[in-house]
Copies of this chain bind each other. A is one copy, B any other.
């Protein structure tokens, strides 16, 4: 505790928990002694561009992503079956991990003289790429599936990209955009510049844990781009001598669309397309992941695994995050927690393992079915109503 209550106007002072307004009627604030205060190092303000030495571009464009929190979630340890920490990527500029790759991809395109950037996405990546293109003054072509919900399109449209709603196979769309002759720099989910930016999340996690190293990192897998990026970072850090014991990578999918988990389970050397069912984890429902085989290699190489989890467990993990940690995430992020629980139950993750879950996106950008319990009261009944439950 540092300080006492003070009135800015009359100067009266009070004990720190005495009251919130002065006897003169004006509000109080807390006086503290700043005389020994000095500026800490403000290098953090560069965000992920602190790592420019290991990035393919060094000129930032747009709001710098990164310096997202890593927090212990001890109230979820029992549920997760390990010592759980959360890397909250929903706090990036457009609310998801995608900003790291967009920042690098768009900065590169601008520097290389492109006037257009493009992406294929039905959500976070479309929003993120549009925002970074807007900042760089580049035109942006966004290709979304024709059935993308209107409320999601509204968020993307704010940044004024050229929005194409495409009828046809989404997996094929990914490949066809990259094969186009048009003078557009596509920054799709696993393209090299995106992967280069995405890798900074693992740099940050390891920096935040340093000098310790977590035993494992768990994350959702869709195209395999993000899993590739995390693996890439771990390899680099290992090579640099900064990480000796490389964390195991656990990749998690929704059971309704789990091509990488299927390949892992069946011991296949590569990932084959699956027929996708419906899932609440729409952002990661990629039935033909272009970096699926690379993601599979990442899990195997680090001694991790790939698993999938049913929607009911995803929803349960999502609710627990918001009610016990105070963090609201999209379903596609909650899969990481549900996956850790599954892996603990099977013994792959042990109770004393330090595990970091990457929460890829904020939950506040969309509405979900939530049980809204409220009571309507009259101002006159305030004390009675509150007293009845506080006791």
Contact = CB atoms under 8 A, between A and B. Distances in A.
Interface in A211-258: 224-225, 228-229, 232, 236-237, 239-240, 242
Interface string A68-96: 01110001000000000000100111110
Interface stretch (A131-139, A259-267, A306-314, A336-344): A131-139
A289 B191 CA distance: 51
Given A5-B192, A294-B27, A157 B207 contact: no
A166 interface: yes
Given A63-B326, A326-B93, A151 B42 contact: no
B32 A95 contact: no
Given A164-B374, A167-B377, A377-B165, A64 B56 contact: no
A16 interface: yes
Query: Which secondary structure dominates chain A's binding surface?
Result: mixed
A93 B64 contact: no
A304 interface: no
B154 A372 contact: yes
Nearest to A382: B176
21 contacts: A27-B190, A29-B192, A32-B53, A32-B56, A34-B54, A34-B240, A37-B54, A37-B242, A39-B207, A64-B71, A67-B67, A93-B326, A131-B326, A141-B389, A151-B367, A153-B372, A154-B370, A157-B373, A180-B383, A182-B386, A362-B364
A371 B153 CA distance: 10
Interface centre among A62, A116, A322 (most CB of B within 10 A): A322
